[in-house]
Chains A and B, each alone.
Chain A
Amino acid sequence: MSGAADEQAQVTAIIAALNAALAPKVAYDIEKVPSPRTGPYVEVTVVWRFGGESRNDGYVGTDGGRILTRYVAKHIEDARLMRSKVVGVLRYGRITVAGDVLITSRETGEPIGEDEGWFSGLDTWTFTA
């Protein structure tokens, strides 16, 4: 990553890109999902990936980021609809952040299923800048 944009700016840009496709705008950073939760929402987690050695020797190999998008709804069709919109943004996505372009692609996912009385499913994506 070039470091031109700080981490929070990247998270903000990713969530803005998702909300541009979702109507209503229901994608939230993982700490900011409204409580109590009444309607469908997409919980977004962004973490940075560091390859290379696992010991603290200062070496950093490949790096980039990972995005998790969890689709949560009381009705399964709402979860599926949110998933299809998010996939449209991130499958081969390009998100601009302060001059950097984050290039996203799908990594893996879990099917939408029952989750403590609601329905939820998840996709993970990796990105580089």
Chain B
Amino acid sequence: MEVNVRHSIGDLAADLTKIPPAASRDLHGVVRDGLRVGNNLARDFARESAGKHGKHYPKAFTTEMNGTASGLTGGGLISGEYGPDPALPQGGMSFEYGSRNQKPHLDLARSADIIGPSFAGEVRRASEQWFWL
């Protein structure tokens, strides 16, 4: 019987340094995909709920990455947001939560109920691959 040592602690250290940039790349993708899917869901809900007086409202839904992560080091915050852009026609209307004379539509909240659990799952699945680079 013999024991072959193929990797040393130095190899482990080298592997660990590869993880942050890989994590940054993968999680940017997860967040970007989550924004796109969440925004599509919310926009579809808005098309149903906005009615004739809100016909431009669904077209105001956009996505935007706004984090501070570094592609070199992998550190920082990877984030984005989606929803109606108030700079676009009808993007500033109070459909989501309504007002004292308008019932809430909850298009964004309904999309978050769907996208939230799947986003958490995607983050977990991405992280499981980093230790096998």
Contacts and interface: CB of A to CB of B under 8 A. Distances in A.
B106 interface: yes
B109 A118 contact: no
Interface residues of B, number: 16
B94 to A, nearest CB: 9
B100 A70 contact: yes
B100 A120 contact: yes
B51 interface: no
A30 B103 CA distance: 8
B100 A116 contact: yes
Interface in B91-133: 97-101, 103-104, 106, 109-110, 113-114, 116-117
Nearest to A43: B100
Contacts of B99: 115-116, 120
B49 to A, nearest CB: 12
Contacts of B103: 30, 45
Nearest to B40: A54
Nearest to A72: B100
Contacts of A51: 113-114, 116-117
A47 B98 contact: no
B106 A62 contact: no
Nearest to A115: B100
B113 A50 contact: yes
Contacts of B41: 54
Interface in A19-64: 30, 43, 45, 47, 49-54, 61-62
A110 B96 CA distance: 11
Contacts of A110: 97
A128 interface: no
Interface of A: 30, 43, 45, 47, 49-54, 61-62, 66, 68, 70, 72, 110, 115-116, 118, 120, 122, 124
29 contacts: A30-B103, A43-B100, A45-B104, A47-B106, A49-B109, A49-B110, A49-B113, A50-B113, A51-B113, A51-B114, A51-B117, A54-B44, A54-B114, A61-B114, A61-B117, A62-B113, A66-B109, A68-B97, A68-B104, A68-B106, A70-B97, A110-B97, A115-B100, A116-B99, A116-B100, A120-B99, A120-B100, A122-B97, A124-B97
| 9 interchain residue pairs of minimum CB distance | A49-B113, A72-B100, A120-B100, A115-B100, A51-B117, A51-B113, A122-B97, A115-B99, A54-B114
